[in-house]
A and B are shown apart, each in its own frame.
Chain A
């Protein structure tokens, strides 16, 4: 398979990488090792670690950081930005619609079953329109590149996409270690993100809030693998980081327990999943939630970001219809394309997929984090056969996509520098405005030939640059 390399074209260095190329070529090996060690020490000191569920081992594991940045030029980024914002608008329009009159279903553009029988569809919020009609306030859109102008959306994350702290810290660390690079290259900043996030949250304060809104970040707690990110964002926004036990409902409002008694909370940026939000409304055994929260939410006493039920827009079955949403709600042609997707509950698709398993990537509809997926070309016959049985048992739980020729960027490896596959997750903010900082999180598959970039599967991260003009 041929892969598009973002730095080299034939023997030539592409324009955006011109200056970096010199930097790499003139870097002595021992200097590189020293800097790599320095980067690791910095990450560990700051305390950015990532615990992988179910793996045991070191709870303070670091996500590998690759010092070689990934670069976009301004024109490339502009197009991506337009595409991402367009997609974000369509996704929110869809959510507004399916919790209201569901015109898109009535028009026969999306099957009713996929919406109403979706696990993430929350009947509890039907008819509740959140402030400004925004359901998903932070949308992480995973993109892959296969050619100069060929970008595809791999999936949408409308609930609580994680990783933005890495985007910010990667940049911090690069600026600290290689200031000269930032003088030589004109790189768009990303550090306004927390400020934009706070503005976004404040812009969706509930109707009953009359003062300047009090926002909080709600975390499942410090044992959560993304806890660092939760505290990081709360800190940079200057808001409280709360756990369920810190909040309680009294009458029409939600309060937090403070040293001076109860204090009202207006906007909750939650980093816990819907089922855990309110034991009275969802899972009764949830220890993380706040009893009565949903009643307050429904009556306009508090805003929850993302809104409960937002997950219905980002599951892999709905994904195939996002281009349709763009046309239906916005009357535009999608700027970013989907990856062709076979849905296994369709007879023809099922037949095709089962005959071509060794070539395809098969994913669970509700899976995430790189778990429960099959990468056909990278799997043994036994693995494929085992997966085939799982599909046969429950075909509608799966979708399949062609194995994409993910682009590569140069990455520091043991022997020097070598191409590794990457993806990109920009973070789009939706409130009174739609905002996007120039850049995102680039994840890199560090193992040679691997196409799986998830940190739970041995992926690393890179700083992502957008060059200004």
Chain B
């Protein structure tokens, strides 16, 4: 046996040695997997970076496979996705993995960034690592957005429309930017082609280039030593201190990958499980501008921006869409320069903790608002939402007429009764305890506070009926609202011209 085996092993060793002499594999291994890292950096908190890279790898593999069946044409994209979902063997699973991999990539990347921020890893000498990471974050969001457009269903279509509308708001060059974005006069085939080019060539290329830079910087400047409260970063002494740490307690990089391995395994299982049990996203309603839609909602990573656009005060859009993002970007990129030295540990950086808390709360709450979308009117509530008995029984004929008007004039699309209906405006289940007749008449006729004026569309009798119904909307055993500042009953306001909308009413 051994006599037979020996020549084979010998040949294999010879081949390996030949490859080694040509490729210098050992040298590359020592410079990368073997490079020394501080022992303290082999921490569970340091696993998010490799998890982000794992997500990106999944995206590349599933993306290339999906491109085998996907047709980037406005006329065909939707059908090719349905073909992938229902006809290509396991096509649905690959679509689902690409979708959930994308969501996970954004989340894990954000966690990675938070960790780097809280652990002070962006400080001297890792400024460029942070900056390349910030650019990678923007690139990842861009690739997520362009990926959502690939679906080319109704949400994607109107999502591009929203993007065009946002660009169109830029002073002076807005119109030209819209043409550049759409590649033509309308959202159509040229638009999808250009988003496709960005999604599969330009952005992945940029991301690969920046990931290489990012990793190169990690190798050059070393992994951040685990911060201890009280230890200050000083530009003059840090390099020597780091070298000292490496010399004293350095371990080869691959000795510290056990935790990365576990974390990445869990992430992989999570992504595949989500893909299997939740499935792919859509495609939803086909992208036909002639089909009525009830709402257009972006994918998870953009829900908070969607919500911010809805909740921003009237006229603040320029500030929200351009000034704030520019300031935020400058603050992010400038971070390692205005916070270059000093404490690394978050226990000594209360403002950093506050920033993280506020960011997470803000994005979390806005995302929740975006998911539930309380500002979107329910376009079918006026004809479809049931009215509970308590809102109708024991009413006078006039009040019942008002109840009918409340449905027929689409009031219900924005105002809920008993929680059923739109939530754009306040729930009116107990409006009778908050507003009296003159106030309600004024509100109905003049509108205000996001409500259109109904003065032109309702006769005096209709206003009377509607308002008498609204006054009757209050829980049993409560008295109608009485406005204390009004000493005597004012003259009834008659229906007339709707007053010009007062913006201050918001």
A and B together in one complex: no
List residues of A whose CB falls within 8 A of some B CB: none
List residues of B whose CB falls within 8 A of some A CB: none
